[in-house]
Amino acid sequence: NAGVTQTPKFQVLKTGQSMTLQCAQDMNHNSMYWYRQDPGMGLRLIYYSASEGTTDKGEVPNGYNVSRLNKREFSLRLESAAPSQTSVYFCASSTSSGGTYNEQFFGPGTRLTVL
């Protein structure tokens, strides 16, 4: 099993460009998450999907959109990139649904630089 995979691993964008970060998991998990990690700030939740067909905003959703394409895939889109979106982006998944606990498993991350 590959676990959680993310593409691309690195990306450089110019201000105003758009891009989509892809995430897929093969663990049959119900819930998926997108985080950003900035130096000294820990992890901040951007969006999550508790189950296929649902998405909800997290702590820092502005400037992002998501799509839960199916149970396996959860993508994050930056419509018009800004330098403040320079960060490392992590996708995670968990079995959490209907009372099970929420141990999350992380992908390798995407390092995004916006010039």
CA-based R_g, the chain, Å = 13
Nearest of 7, 1, 4 to residue 110 by alpha carbon: 7
The strand pairing partners of 66, in sequence order, are 76
**DSSP count for the chain of H helices, then E strands:** 0, 11
Smallest distance from the beta carbon of 7 to another protein, in angstroms? 14
List the one residue from 5, 11, 19, 58 that touches another protein (CB under 8 A): 58
List the one residue from 34, 48, 74, 89 that touches another protein (CB under 8 A): 48
Among 7-15, 34-42, 64-72, 73-81, the segment contacting another protein (CB under 8 A): 34-42
Q: Does 110 bind another protein (CB under 8 A)?
A: no
Of the pair 81, 92, the CB lying nearest another protein is at 92
Torsion of CA 110, 72, 65, 97, to 10 degrees: -110
List the one residue from 5, 50, 60, 63 that touches another protein (CB under 8 A): 50
